[in-house]
């Protein structure tokens, strides 16, 4: 199978590309960023996914499957840039998929689109509404991209589409949203709140994407690993010092005093849990994580 | 440090509780063994020494599998909820952890949000109720909701309107309903007035005021009378009038248990 990965220079995407290539698949990739030491046999095209040369890659290479991973968060890009990349890029990719006969397309999304709120239930299923547009406006572009990719299920029925809402990844690469939040020695928390955090090992995240490709997953799926862990436990197990800050102080210290730079609305995501139910994905693909919560946290801590 | 606050009885019973803790002492709903110890030890003190609770008919609560304990609410603060939780943990064989259905505003409040999440007291959402019953847990329901604890002293043993969702969920999940009456809540925390301004500040449904001002419960002996488990036929999709009939049966049973409990409470004075 010939697989095109958009955003291939990202940390998780590199792992996926390597795994697919070693399993005998032909892998090509698109990214604006370079991947200098890409393994032989993996062709990386340094083009912007929204621009014409990207369409040319679809036209000339005719991939069988596409894994769309070219999305960004507030840790890596400004707001206007994020909307262009996340929503514009997703539109472009599914447009090309439909036009150039791609049989299968995966949107790699995030579980945070469900949004954190005091009255939201634990273990959200795929039919729950996506609240992040209101609870955390900086994720609105990702919510829009997620729903847009989901619309492809009826708009482009010839492209077998799956939207994977994946929990945070954690592991030796120390890349990703959760790793950025836990990046410093001291992690800001909100005093009196200790939400459950749901994460999976990078290795398992890659296995889940591979499983979705192999089983030709079709539909919207939550993808999760081991059971969730309260934030304070997560900080302790990864050797961080949790610093509980009173709610009104929290937004003011972000980006200062060695704390990570995050939008002030992120406070909801460190006060209330976002925990998803991944039963549908496990049933559809047979996926099961190899790393439990302790091993995953250790892998991040001791990398 | 918190571990020093755990009583030997609580420590021993925690070992036998029906919660699947992992190596970190956490279950999939975020319940933490490290938090349950001191929390239940605090409840034990209130249950044995402060309120000196007598539990009658506790054997009606199944020793394994899903169950819903349903009772009357009274007394400004959910003292009744805490004592039912203590009774099923301390006096039931084997010990069982009860999950309450917490008012939504509590999750907005610091510390309360954190502690309730760690001891299995989740926001009262139907999704949570179904999930916990499917995990074979014991759910505690006060169908009067905040209308129940809001009762003033003079109304302490009248039952206000019952919500009906609990019966639909019991039918949908095939769960037996164990009715109970809690006696003494209204006397322990005699509410004479609602301070609406403070309620607004805390975004709470009401703020109770007692004759002595503070909403702190008095050391009044309390009783819990559990009744025989009730099972109804259906799958939860029945029309309202059918459900209302089942709700009325539960309500009547609780009213009868309340009468029985009050007589015993008066006799013991």
Is the pLDDT at A48 greater than 80? The verdict is yes
B112 CB neighbours in chain A (<8 A) are 192
CA distance A212 to A12: 15
Is the pLDDT at A242 greater than 90? The verdict is yes
Please name the residue of chain A whose CA is at the shortest distance from the CA of residue B102. Answer: A119
Please name the residue of chain A whose CA is at the shortest distance from the CA of residue B28. Answer: A227
Q: Do A191 and B29 touch (CB under 8 A)?
A: no
Distances (CA, A) of B180 to A94, A280, A288, B91, B254: 58, 38, 42, 15, 6
Q: Which positions ≥6 away from B187 have C-beta within 8 Å? A: B75, B156, B218, B220
Please name the residue of chain B whose CA is at the shortest distance from the CA of residue A226. Answer: B28
CA distance B95 to B230: 21
Alpha helices in chain B (DSSP H): 8-14, 33-45, 79-90, 112-118, 126-134, 146-149, 165-173, 185-188, 196-201, 240-268
Q: Do A247 and B110 touch (CB under 8 A)?
A: yes
Could you give the ipTM of this predicted complex? Answer: 0.90
Question: Encoding tokens for residue A12?
Answer: 């998780």
B128 CB neighbours in chain A (<8 A) are 121-122
Give the distance, in angstroms, between the CA of residue A235 and the centroid of all CA atoms in the same chain: 21
Instruction: Say yes or no: domain A2-301 is CATH 2.40.10.10.
Output: no
pLDDT value at residue B45: 96
pLDDT digits (tens, 9 = 90+) for B181-205: 999 988 888 888 888 888 888 888 8
Listed by number, the residues of chain A in 70-129 with a beta carbon closer than 8 Å to a beta carbon of chain B are 118-119, 121-123
Q: What single-letter DSSP state applies at residue A124?
A: B
* Beta carbons of A182 and A234 less than 8 angstroms apart: yes
CA distance B114 to B109: 9
Question: Encoding tokens for residue B20?
Answer: 């699947």
Using DSSP's 3-state secondary structure scheme, residue A269 falls into helix
CA distance B269 to B50: 16
Q: Which positions ≥6 away from A172 have C-beta within 8 Å? A: A202, A299, A300, A303
Task: Give yes or no for B99 touching A (CB within 8 A).
Answer: no
* Beta carbons of A13 and A29 less than 8 angstroms apart: yes
Task: Give yes or no for A191 touching B (CB within 8 A).
Answer: yes
In 3D space, the residue among B229, B13, B20 whose CA is nearest the CA of residue B120 turns out to be B20
Alpha helices in chain A (DSSP H): 11-22, 52-61, 79-83, 89-99, 132-135, 140-155, 177-181, 202-214, 231-237, 250-253, 267-271, 279-285, 293-301
* Beta carbons of A141 and A132 less than 8 angstroms apart: no
* Beta carbons of B7 and B48 less than 8 angstroms apart: no
Q: Do B118 and A273 touch (CB under 8 A)?
A: no
Burial class (CB in 10 A: 0-12, 13-18, 19+), B42: middle
Please name the residue of chain B whose CA is at the shortest distance from the CA of residue A128. Answer: B127
Q: Write the residue in A118, A196, A228 that is nearest to B107 by C-beta.
A: A118
Question: Encoding tokens for residue A224?
Answer: 């999760």
Distance from the B192 Cα atom to the nearest Cα atom in chain A, whole angstroms: 30
pTM of the model: 0.92
- Calculate mean pLDDT across residues A28-57: 94
Q: Are strands B122-123 and B138-141 parallel, antiparallel or unpaired?
A: unpaired
pLDDT value at residue B1: 60
Q: Do B117 and A237 touch (CB under 8 A)?
A: no
* Beta carbons of A65 and A102 less than 8 angstroms apart: yes
Burial class (CB in 10 A: 0-12, 13-18, 19+), A289: buried
Q: Do B30 and A190 touch (CB under 8 A)?
A: no
For residue A201, the cross-strand partners are A170
Is the pLDDT at A82 greater than 80? The verdict is yes
Q: Write the residue in B104, B114, B127 that is nearest to A193 by C-beta.
A: B114
Q: Do B127 and A121 touch (CB under 8 A)?
A: yes
Q: Write the residue in A121, A122, A193 that is nearest to B113 by C-beta.
A: A193
Q: Do B30 and A192 touch (CB under 8 A)?
A: no
Task: Give yes or no for B130 touching A (CB within 8 A).
Answer: no
Query: Would you give the end-to-end CA distance of chain A in angstroms?
Result: 33
* A38 cis-preceded (ω within 30 degrees of 0): no
Residue from B2, B127, B135, B137 to probe the interface with A (highest A Cβ count within 10 Å): B127
Is the pLDDT at A95 greater than 80? The verdict is yes
Candidate from A49-53, A103-107, B2-6, B227-231 with smallest mean pLDDT = B2-6
pLDDT value at residue B214: 82
pLDDT digits (tens, 9 = 90+) for A116-163: 999 999 999 999 999 998 889 889 999 999 999 999 999 999 999 999
Q: Do B24 and A118 touch (CB under 8 A)?
A: no
Task: Give yes or no for B52 touching A (CB within 8 A).
Answer: no
Is the pLDDT at A179 greater than 70? The verdict is yes
* Beta carbons of B219 and B232 less than 8 angstroms apart: no
Query: Which single residue is written with the structure tokens 């937004």?
Result: A251
Distance from the B186 Cα atom to the nearest Cα atom in chain A, whole angstroms: 29
pLDDT value at residue A301: 93
pLDDT value at residue A78: 81
Task: Give yes or no for A292 touching B (CB within 8 A).
Answer: yes
CA distance B106 to B29: 17
pLDDT value at residue A299: 95
Q: Write the residue in B24, B32, B111 that is nearest to A294 by C-beta.
A: B24
Instruction: For chain A, state the CA radius of gyration.
Output: 19
pLDDT value at residue B5: 84
pLDDT in tens, chain B (269 residues): 667 789 999 999 999 998 999 999 999 999 999 999 999 999 999 999 999 999 999 999 999 999 999 999 987 788 999 999 999 999 999 999 999 999 888 888 899 999 999 999 999 999 999 999 999 999 999 999 888 888 888 888 889 999 999 999 999 999 999 999 999 988 888 888 888 888 888 888 888 888 887 888 899 999 999 999 999 999 999 999 999 999 999 999 999 999 999 999 999 87
Backbone angles phi, psi at A162, to 5 degrees: -135, 135
Whole-number percent of chain A with pLDDT over 70: 100
Q: What single-letter DSSP state applies at residue B7?
A: -
Residue from B31, B113, B130, B169 to probe the interface with A (highest A Cβ count within 10 Å): B113
pLDDT value at residue A265: 85
For residue A222, the cross-strand partners are A165
- Helix (H), strand (E) at residue B99: strand B98-99
Distances (CA, A) of B68 to A170, B5, B59, B136: 38, 30, 14, 10
- The class that CATH gives domain B2-268 is alpha beta
Q: Do B26 and A227 touch (CB under 8 A)?
A: yes
* Beta carbons of B72 and B144 less than 8 angstroms apart: yes
Whole-number percent of chain A with pLDDT over 90: 83
pLDDT mean across residues, chain A: 94
A225 CB neighbours in chain B (<8 A) are none
Distance from the B33 Cα atom to the nearest Cα atom in chain A, whole angstroms: 13
CA distance B123 to B129: 9
Q: Do A194 and B118 touch (CB under 8 A)?
A: yes
């Amino acid at each position: 199978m010939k697989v095109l990965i958009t955003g291939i220079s990202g940390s998780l995407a590199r792992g996926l590309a390597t795994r697919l290539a070693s399993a005998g698949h032909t892998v090509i990739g698109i990214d604006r960023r370079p991947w200098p030491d890409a393994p032989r046999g993996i062709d990386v095209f340094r083009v912007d996914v929204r621009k014409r040369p990207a369409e040319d890659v679809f036209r000339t290479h005719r991939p069988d499957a596409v894994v769309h991973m070219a999305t960004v968060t507030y840790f890596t890009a400004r707001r206007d840039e994020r909307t262009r990349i996340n929503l514009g890029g997703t539109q472009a990719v599914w447009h090309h998929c439909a036009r150039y006969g791609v049989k299968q397309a995966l949107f790699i999304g995030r579980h945070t689109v469900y949004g954190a709120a005091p009255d939201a239930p634990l273990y959200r299923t795929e039919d729950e509404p996506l609240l992040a547009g209101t609870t955390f406006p900086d994720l609105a572009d990702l919510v829009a991209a997620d729903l847009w990719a989901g619309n492809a299920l009826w708009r482009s029925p010839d492209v077998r589409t799956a939207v994977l809402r994946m929990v945070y990844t954690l592991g030796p690469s120390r890349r990703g949203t959760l790793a950025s939040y836990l990046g410093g020695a001291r992690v800001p928390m909100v005093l009196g709140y200790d939400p459950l955090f749901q994460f999976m090992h990078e290795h398992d995240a890659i296995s889940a994407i591979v499983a979705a490709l192999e089983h030709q997953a079709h539909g919207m799926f939550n993808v999760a690993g081991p059971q969730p862990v309260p934030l304070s436990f997560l900080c302790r197990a990864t050797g961080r010092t949790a610093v509980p800050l009173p709610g009104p102080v929290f937004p003011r210290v972000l980006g200062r005093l060695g704390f990570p730079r995050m939008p002030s609305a992120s406070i909801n995501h460190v006060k209330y849990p976002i925990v998803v139910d991944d039963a549908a994905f496990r049933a559809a693909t047979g996926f099961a994580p190899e790393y439990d919560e302790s091993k995953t946290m250790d892998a991040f801590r001791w990398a | 440090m918190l571990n020093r606050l755990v009583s030997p009885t609580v420590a021993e019973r925690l070992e036998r509780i029906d919660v699947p803790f992992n190596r970190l002492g956490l279950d999939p709903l975020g319940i933490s063994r490290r938090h349950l110890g001191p929390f239940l030890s605090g409840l034990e003190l209130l249950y044995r020494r402060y309120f000196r609770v007598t539990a009658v008919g506790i054997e009606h609560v199944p020793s394994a599998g899903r169950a819903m304990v349903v009772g009357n609410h009274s007394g400004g603060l959910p003292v009744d909820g805490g004592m039912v939780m203590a009774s099923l943990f301390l006096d039931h064989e084997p010990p069982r952890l009860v999950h309450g259905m917490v008012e939504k505003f509590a999750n907005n409040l610091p510390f309360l949000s954190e502690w309730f999440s760690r001891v299995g007291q989740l926001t009262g959402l139907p999704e949570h109720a179904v999930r916990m019953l499917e995990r074979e847990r014991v759910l505690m329901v006060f169908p009067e909701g905040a209308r129940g604890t809001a009762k003033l002293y003079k109304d302490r043993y009248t039952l206000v309107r019952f919500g009906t969702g609990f019966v639909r969920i019991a039918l949908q999940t095939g769960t037996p309903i164990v009715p109970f009456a809690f006696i003494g809540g209204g006397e322990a925390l005699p509410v004479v007035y609602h301070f609406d301004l403070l309620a607004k500040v805390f975004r709470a449904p009401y703020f109770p005021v007692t004759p002595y001002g503070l909403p702190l419960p008095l050391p009044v002996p309390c009783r819990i009378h559990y009744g025989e488990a009730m099972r109804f036929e259906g799958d939860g999709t029945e029309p309202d009038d059918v459900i209302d009939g089942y709700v009325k049966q539960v309500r009547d049973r609780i009213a009868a248990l309340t009468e029985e409990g009050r007589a015993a409470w008066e006799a013991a004075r």
